[in-house]
Structure 1
Amino acid sequence: MSTDGHTAPIRSQALLAEWVEEFRAQGDGVAGTLDVLLQDGSDGRDTGLVIVRLKNAPADVFMQPRDYDDPFWEATLTARGDLSLTPYQLASLAAEIVVAGNLCTFLQFKSLEWDRESGLRGHGAP
């Protein structure tokens, strides 16, 4: 429960997969792989997790809301060791990071929109 008496908004694996497909349909290509995984929240509910597995680096970008009842998103870049790149590889990696940033921004927008439409946020809600 959120502090205002409403159930906290949950973005399930299925809902996030729908949003990711909507993002892909807009033409923003992800060079690596893009997965939406089941993630168990602290109360056991499906909170979903979006992962971009980068093609041009041994790294992944994990995306999720900042906190359980928070419509704002964050991305965590995980790296596995040092990486030496040519200028072209570096530019390709930078392009992947830009697309990941665009996806995270899109998911945050969809979360805010979904929260408003569901009636769980808005008009003075925290």
Structure 2
Amino acid sequence: MSFAQIARSSRLPSAFAAKSNPVSIQQRFITLIDKRKKPNVTKTIDVVLPSTTEAIPKEQLAYNVKRTTVAGWLPVYSDFRNNRSRHLTLIRRIEGDIERLAKDLEQIIPPQNIVVNPLTHSIRLKGNYVNQIRDWLTARGF
């Protein structure tokens, strides 16, 4: 079924079916998508870092944690296993030296809870550390 046939069908609101020209319908559809509100990811967070943490510029670090492309969120996720009795935290989209990031995370998380997976460019943490990791990454400029 072509885009013009869908526009002429009764499934779309009359605002879409006003013109049968597929280009104008596509343009209206794209305009409506672009007008959606996107979340504002800028916020002020007061994070107290351990005294051993030095203020290192983000450009001098050997790793980078890329934000998501659409909404711009940090790729830190919680995961529950074993009937929600085992809590895990995942850090994804890591570029560069993953081992260095794991070593830096030892400042706020016990080292026995950190598992590095270089194949998937991710770090799995045993425990629910989502808020602490997001605050720590935000304080470091990611």
TM-score by length of 2: 0.28
More helix by share: 1
TM-score by length of 1: 0.30
Pick 1 or 2: higher relative contact order, CA cutoff 8 A, min separation 6: 1
Larger Rg: 2
